[in-house]
Amino acid sequence: MWPIETFAASNGSRVFLSTGWEQFLEDNGLQRGDDIAIALVGHSKFLVTIVARAISDKACS
């Protein structure tokens, strides 16, 4: 489990992931371009599912 802080936009229309999110990305090998789904599953608990991994330039050469 990774403790990640969140904050809401001033109008409450969006929630942003902040402190701890970069560690989660690193620990799970996520990179820019990867597709993930985030679902709220309880009070302050989220389920993150990796939907698709991005294809890197190295994989194509």
The DSSP 8-state label assigned to residue 14 in this structure reads -
The yes-or-no verdict on residue 60 having pLDDT over 80 is no
Q: What is the mean pLDDT of residues 7-15?
A: 87
The yes-or-no verdict on residue 58 having pLDDT over 70 is no
Q: Any idea how long the chain is? A: 61
pTM value? Answer: 0.68
User: What are the angstrom distances between the C-alpha of 31 and each of 1, 9, 45?
Assistant: 19, 25, 22
What does the pLDDT read at residue 26? 93
Residue 34: closest CA among 19, 53, 20? 53
Q: What is the mean pLDDT of residues 33-44?
A: 88
Unique residue bearing structure tokens 């989660």 = 24
Q: Which amino acid is at 2?
A: W
